Structure 1
Amino acid sequence: MKEVTEFDLRHPDYKDPDLKPEHFEFDGEGKIARKDRFERGMRRVHGMLIDLGLSSSRDAWTVKEELQKLKKYIEDMQRLKDLVCIVEQAPEDAEYFNLENREYVKNIDVEHLDIAKAEPSESHLINHDTCGKDGVWTENSAWLENIHSLVMLADMKEEILVMSGAMEACK
């Protein structure tokens, strides 16, 4: 029969015989924690970035670089999520989306748009229809710069395809 040792009495996280008390400290909650937990955590982040194809195991890296990559990835995923939500919730006949006031737009009056483009120094309102969260289309008008800030839903769909394709290529 095997004799009981100190390692048999240890918590499973601390059974490695190479671990010594000097490798640990008490964390802010008073629990035992590895002193190198931040380094180990950063190495796990680096490994995740490698898995996503955003970093390489062959290249040298810094914490700052890896955190920038992680931040960009999170921002890209948030943008992708926003785009998908906008496109999925779009009324069937919506053509554009106003990112500033979160409204869908359709039926931009081309005649008024052409006049506003031809005479930009003049103040010409351009008629169009808008639809908010309530799903009701209402007649509206805006200045040329507001119309120029609209994003075509077709462009958003294309960006979703590009972003999701890029994400698939990383796997």
Structure 2
Amino acid sequence: MRKVTLDDFIMPEFRGQNPDDYEFRGDGKIVRKDRWENGIHRIHTVLMRAGVMPDEPEFEIDDVVKAVRSLLDKPDDTEQ
């Protein structure tokens, strides 16, 4: 039988991760600092695969918003 280590007390999703990459959300949950950036990249990939956005690594967030609006048939406005 192996010896118990500090990692045995750490939640599996955080084992081996760098604490500098995480922060506390308002509700106290630990989340990645780059979650919004990762999310917009995932949305861009979905839109790209759907043929709504070009297959280019560089894009602007406004272009992603416009592509989503085009799928929803919403007018292009500046509402948040």
Q: Encode CA deviations 1:53-105: one digit per residue, 9 max, x unaligned.
A: 212333420111111111211227xxxxxxxxxxxxxxxxxxxxxxxxxxxxx
Alignment correspondent of 2:23: 25
Q: Encode CA deviations 1:91-145: one digit per residue, 9 max, x unaligned.
A: xxxxxxxxxxxxxxxxxxxxxxxxxxxxxxxxxxxxxxxxxxxxxxxxxxxxxxx
Q: What 5-or-longer segments of structure 2 have no aligned partner?
A: 75-80
In 1, distance between residues paired with 2:45 and 2:37?
A: 12
In 1, distance between residues paired with 2:11 and 2:63?
A: 35
- Find the residue that maps to 2:38 and give its secondary structure: helix
In 1, distance between residues paired with 2:64 and 2:39?
A: 12
Alignment correspondent of 1:11: 11
- Structure 2 length as normaliser, TM-score? 0.71
Alignment correspondent of 1:55: 53
Q: Which has the higher strand share?
A: 1
Aligned length: 74
In 2, distance between residues paired with 1:10 and 1:54?
A: 42
- Find the residue that maps to 2:73 and give its secondary structure: helix
Query: Cα offset for 1:34?
Result: 0.8
Q: What 5-or-longer segments of structure 1 have no aligned partner?
A: 77-171
Report the RMSD for the aligned CA atoms in angstroms.
2.3
- Structure 1 length as normaliser, TM-score? 0.37
Larger RCO of the pair (alpha carbons < 8 Å, separation 6+): 1
